[in-house]
């Protein structure tokens, strides 16, 4: 079986761990790489730039296009292909839009392979968790459509590493929205965060796919994950459960809203009961964090441990003291076998756990 790295390279995003089928290859040689979004010769407007690894756009790489898109309100149209690079989007690129030109996120992949424990080029240390991110998205008002963000670092290739976190994307800006995107990795895949403890960055993920094993959706953002698919991966390095955790929020204590997951599903390749739904993350940089997670109207597959769906990351911060709740979930992983382990909202409480409540005057879900 090919590794994720070889699969991404050969199939422009078709991970060997996915059950989504091989990525289509026809778009790679299409005569109109930017589809309905114009081209450098038929530019939609002055604020639209085109990215194509084969040289048919304004830039062959995404970072180069980001560097050129100075100021607010630019659109980057990205042709099908695999873009092997790290990308850092500065905070002053407000209102930036990223579009996968084919409309299929399998076709356009942004991928790299750093981990927490990867040595820095200058030998001064390692990248750390944040530094491992393939893409770091700092600006407010970022919107992305039909793209794959991936980190293809593999534990099996570096058994000597203790820092195995490998982030596909770190999102920090307020009003960041992702529609129909894929996020591929193992540990710490999607880092839904904010720029500072006092920033309650609002983020919205709709019709997205996220895969991983340990804490693969984590951070302190106010994030709504709507109609998404979360897929847990089998751990070949472990013989017993738990293999990992889907969510690890680190919500600031002063923030009334953490992660809201609704109308979504959790599936997986691991044996039944080998995954926990979540555990709270109280980082050493914010010991006042009060992690918050609401999972409602979701289907939880058999891979979730129904009897003990939550775990504790750090002694002194048990999950029972955090803001975890469920409402009207279905599936074998949602069975209530030990009521004390399944904190549930009443109907009245559930009316306060909605995208409108989480996102306020910003309404990307309409």
Give catalytic residue positions. Answer: 188, 215
Strand order in the sheet with 75-78: 48-51, 75-78, 97-100, 143-145, 176-179, 202-206, 222-226, 259-262, 292-296, 323-327
Q: Judge whether 163 and 116 are in contact, CB under 8 Å.
A: yes
The number of C-alpha atoms within 13 Å of 111 and in the hemisphere containing its C-beta is: 28
Burial-class residue 338 by CB neighbours within 10 Å (0-12, 13-18, 19+): exposed
Contact 280, 322 (CB under 8 A): yes
In sequence order, what are the beta bridge partners of 150? 111, 184
How far apart are the C-alpha atoms of 262 and 157, rounded to whole Å? Answer: 36
Per the listing, tokens 């050969």 go with: 10
**Helix (H/G/I), strand (E/B), else coil: 357:** helix
Q: How far is CA 100 from CA 9, 84, 153, 163, in A?
A: 17, 15, 23, 32
Strand partners, 231: 211, 267
Of 100, 92, 36, which Cα lies nearest the Cα of 62?
Answer: 100
Sign of CA dihedral 38, 42, 46, 52: positive
Sole residue written with tokens 């809201």: 260
Nearest alpha-carbon partner for 151 in 122, 182, 195 = 182
Find the radius of gyration of the CA atoms of the chain: 20
Give the H or E element holding residue 73: none
Tokens (6 digits) for 78: 């990205």
């Amino acid at each position: 079986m090919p590794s994720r790295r070889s699969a991404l390279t050969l199939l422009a995003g078709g991970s060997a761990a996915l059950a989504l089928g091989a990525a289509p290859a026809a778009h790679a040689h299409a005569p109109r790489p930017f589809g309905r979004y114009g081209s450098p010769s038929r530019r939609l407007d002055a604020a639209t730039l085109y990215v194509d690894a084969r040289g048919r756009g304004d830039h062959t790489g995404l970072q180069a296009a980001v560097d050129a898109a100075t100021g607010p309100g630019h659109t980057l149209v990205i042709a099908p292909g695999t873009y092997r690079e790290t990308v850092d989007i500065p905070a002053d690129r407000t209102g930036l839009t990223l579009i996968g030109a084919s409309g299929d996120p399998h076709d356009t992949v942004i991928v790299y392979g750093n981990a927490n424990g990867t040595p820095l080029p200058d030998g001064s240390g390692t990248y750390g968790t944040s530094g491992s991110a393939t893409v770091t998205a700092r600006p407010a008002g970022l919107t992305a459509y039909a793209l794959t963000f991936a980190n293809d670092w593999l534990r099996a290739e570096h058994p000597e590493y203790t820092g195995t976190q490998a982030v596909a994307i770190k999102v920090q800006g307020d009003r960041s929205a992702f529609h129909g995107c894929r996020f591929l990795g193992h540990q710490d895949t999607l880092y839904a965060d904010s720029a500072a403890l006092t920033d309650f960055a609002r983020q919205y993920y709709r019709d997205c796919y996220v895969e991983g094993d340990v804490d693969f959706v984590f951070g302190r953002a106010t994030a709504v994950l709507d109609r998404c698919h979360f897929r847990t991966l089998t751990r070949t390095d472990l013989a017993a459960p738990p293999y990992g955790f889907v969510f690890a929020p680190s919500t600031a204590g002063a923030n009334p809203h953490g992660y809201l997951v609704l109308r979504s599903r959790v599936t997986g390749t691991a044996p039944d009961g080998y995954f926990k739904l979540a555990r709270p993350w109280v980082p050493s940089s914010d010991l006042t964090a009060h992690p918050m997670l609401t999972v409602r109207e979701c289907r939880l597959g058999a891979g979730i441990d129904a009897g003990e769906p939550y775990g504790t990351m750090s002694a002194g911060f048990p999950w029972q003291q955090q803001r975890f709740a469920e409402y009207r979930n279905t599936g074998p992983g949602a069975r209530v076998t030990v009521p004390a382990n399944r904190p549930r909202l009443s109907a009245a409480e559930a009316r306060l756990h909605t995208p409108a409540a989480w996102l306020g005057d910003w309404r990307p879900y309409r």
